[in-house]
Amino acid sequence: MISFAVVLFVEFACVFCDLPPGNLTDFSVCKVSHLGVEYHGSIGKTESNVRCQTWTSNEPHKVGEALTDDKFPFGSKRASKNYCRNPDRKEAGPWCYSMSSELIDETCAVPLCSFSECRITGPGMEYGGAHSKGVSDRACLKWDKERKKVLLRGNYTKYGRFGAGKFPDQSLSQAKTYCRNPDGDSGGPWCFVKNEEQGFVEREYCDIPFCYDPECSGFAKNHDTYTHYIDFNGSVLTDIKFGLKLWNSDRVNEGSARLVLSVLALPLAGQEIDDLGIGIEIFISNNQSALRFGNKDRPEYEPTPGLLTSTNFTTFTLNWDRGFITFGVEGRVKPIFLAEMRTKNTLLEAQKDRFDFYAVQGTDVIWTFPFCLDDDECDVHTTVGGEFQQFWPLRQKDIVFDLYVHVRAFGNAAILATPSPTVDFPYFKIVFNGPHGNTRMTIREHQGASELVLKELQLDDVVDYWAWHEFSISIFANSLQVSAFWFDLFCIALLRST
């Protein structure tokens, strides 16, 4: 998939010494980010081999009042026992109060996990494999050197050496020229590459696949208004099953997602959808979950600690029948909630439990629905605004990345490509029926750069509201081909129309 990137101490040596490079995959003894906020393993000693104090005890040291349950995995200090945690997001990672009266607290030297073939999370700080080329196919440079002239966002900057603990290899020399993410870039693993023509060095993302990459997966961000809907292809459904996964491990405490089922695809917020009586909104988080809008009664929020993670998809089941809706986790007997929808004197009453569209948002979440596996029909996306709200990976077939889209639009339509769904730049954009009716291709290198027009064509009737028009984009190696145009590009595609 192309998207849309410690020091060990003596007491741990026996645990890790026999593992080959790139294969520390037991989440009970390793973390998937530098901060290790999501770490919920069973290491209970500090780096100087002192036993940890229980988080619910104030002996021998008083536990900080700000370290409340919601700062811990699964929303519980008690469940964390005396294990190393990072409830206050210390830069050094998981820590604990010690049982020694002479040592208040200390970090635990929990190492980064190391996966040799793929990444588990979006940032991929745990990737420890041997891939050593950027997306442009340029060779990566060594990590164990200072970089005095690196082009970043249009300016030259200096990079010192990163700390050894920022690498799953626990060593800059062992990291060699491999793709890594020592600064926790949300976009994913990267490396330094050299611009041979101009003699400077720049950062470049690497194409590191996810360890588990469902075919029907997409990415969603949070927005105030829902402007991107996907239809159910005319199917009359009364239940669906879908998966959710957080992109970033360090956002696990505030991780949340929202799912809307609606009769109409209108640019509305959840409250407005409720007011018009055209749909419902389900709120899902690691704090609490509920049928937030479209509820006949006042929403009852159920506690749902640990519901969403960055390391695995949580599969949910949703069923609605005769005005009642049941929501739960697959495999669990007890549902998260059973609620009655508000249907009287609304379009929902006329529809008799039939929804035609769904939409998803969240705090950088990867979601998967089964509908794209239908070989007979493509999913139809209705977009009604100027925001790019959802992203999909552009997948490789043989040596080519192909994107095929069918477009109907009243006004214009646009396709956006970025290196990762969490980064805004650089981007490549095609606008059909744009300014003066032209089809325009543009790039923008970084936030401070101007948008550069690469190609502008006068194409009559390129989009039409009443008829589907098909477009194709092909990427060969690191080049994007659209008719006779090529551009270095790599990544995620999203369709928009206004």
Q: How does pLDDT run across 36-75, given as a tens digit for each residue?
A: 999 999 999 999 999 999 999 999 999 999 999 999 999 9
pLDDT score, position 219: 94
What's the average pLDDT block by block, 10 residues per block, for the chain (498 residues)?
28 36 84 97 97 97 96 95 98 97 96 96 97 92 94 91 96 97 97 89 93 89 93 84 97 96 96 96 97 95 96 97 95 96 92 91 93 72 87 76 83 87 90 85 91 88 87 66 33 38
CA 260, CA 258: separation in Å to the nearest integer? 7
CATH topology agreement for domains 1-110 and 113-211? yes
Per residue, the 3-state secondary structure of 72-108, as one string, reads CHHHCCHHHCCCCECCCCCCCCCEEEECCCCCCEEEC
CA atoms within 13 A on the CB side of 295: 16
Q: Could you say which architecture CATH assigns to the domain 215-377?
A: Sandwich (2.60)
CA atoms within 13 A on the CB side of 36: 31
Q: Let me know: does 495 contact 413? Beta carbons within 8 Å.
A: yes
* Domain boundary assignment for the chain: 1-110, 113-211, 215-377, 394-497
Q: Let me know: does 131 contact 206? Beta carbons within 8 Å.
A: yes
pLDDT score, position 475: 67
Determine the 3-state secondary structure of 16 from DSSP.
Answer: helix
Backbone Cα Rg of the chain: 25
Fold of 1-110: Plasminogen Kringle 4 (2.40.20)
pLDDT score, position 7: 25
pLDDT score, position 5: 29
Q: Where are the alpha helices (DSSP H) in 202-243?
A: none
- What's the CATH number for 113-211? 2.40.20.10
Give the length of the chain.
498
Q: What pTM did the predictor assign?
A: 0.89
Interior angle at CA 467, CA 229 and CA 384, nearest 5: 25
CA atoms within 13 A on the CB side of 88: 13
- Positive or negative, the CA dihedral 286, 289, 292, 297 is negative
